[in-house]
Amino acid sequence: MIVAVDGPAGSGKSSVCRGTAATLGLSYLDTGAMYRALTYAALEAGIDPTDSSAVADFADTPVIISGTDPNAPSITVNGLDVSESIRSERVTSSVSPISAIPAVRERLVALQRQHVAQARELGLGIVVEGRDIGSVVLPDADLKVYLIADPAVRAARRAAETGTEAVAATEAALKARDDFDSMRTTSPLIQADDAVVVDTTEMTLQQVIDHVCDLVNERREIHV
């Protein structure tokens, strides 16, 4: 099974995808971490994230490796573990403009599809999360899920995750990023026409994981 999960920031994608993959024995790929990793590498190289030409020229330079174990996901840049570094405010504030650059998306989408191809070759399934997975990266995925939640709930979740009490500011930042990603020309944040929409607003994390697992198992039965 190839499962594509998209949705705005704070909708629970990472936790849900890791939990679903771990429960069902599937691999897991966080594509957002890949864009953050390239952003981190560009910033470390002294590249202005708004200089699209410089970023495009740099896009093929860093070696980005994603671990696909849902119980211990990892990501490295040139052999350096950047799992914590890519969650910094510096990276967060720069990842959207860098992610919008066509050369960046072309390079990382190719890597993402390689991971899926490897999972297929090994007879494994994979859960892939992001913002354009069902619409661009894996349009033929066996199951597409689009997670949503009330903006205030998403902000509260992200604030708790980052340890800040500035929920209102967090909500504004999430809205700004979602607006930017939804309006970008290349691979915008969009719900695929055949995606199953799951509203997580009133659900616990475990309830969402259980629901997505049920969707996967239902789709498996159809394919058998």
The topology (CATH level 3) of 2-213 is Rossmann fold (3.40.50)
Q: CA angle at residue 27 from 39 to 133, to 5 degrees?
A: 55
Which amino acid would we find at residue 207? Answer: Q
Please write the tens of the pLDDT for every residue from 116-141. 999 999 888 999 999 999 999 999 99
Q: Which residue has the higher pLDDT, 32 or 9?
A: 32
Domain spans in the chain, listed from the N-terminal domain onward: 2-213
Cα 117 from Cα 139, distance rounded (Å)? 14
Mean model confidence pLDDT for the chain? 93
Residue 208 pLDDT = 97
Determine the pLDDT at residue 28.
Answer: 97
| More confident site: 224 or 16 | 16
**pLDDT tens-digit map of 143-183:** 999 999 999 998 888 888 778 888 898 888 888 888 887 88
CB atoms within 10 A of CB 108: 21
Q: What is the pTM of this model?
A: 0.91
Per-residue pLDDT reduced to its tens digit, 77-107: 999 999 999 999 999 999 989 999 999 999 9
The burial of 196, by beta-carbon neighbours within 10 Å (0-12 exposed, 13-18 middle, 19 or more buried), is given as middle
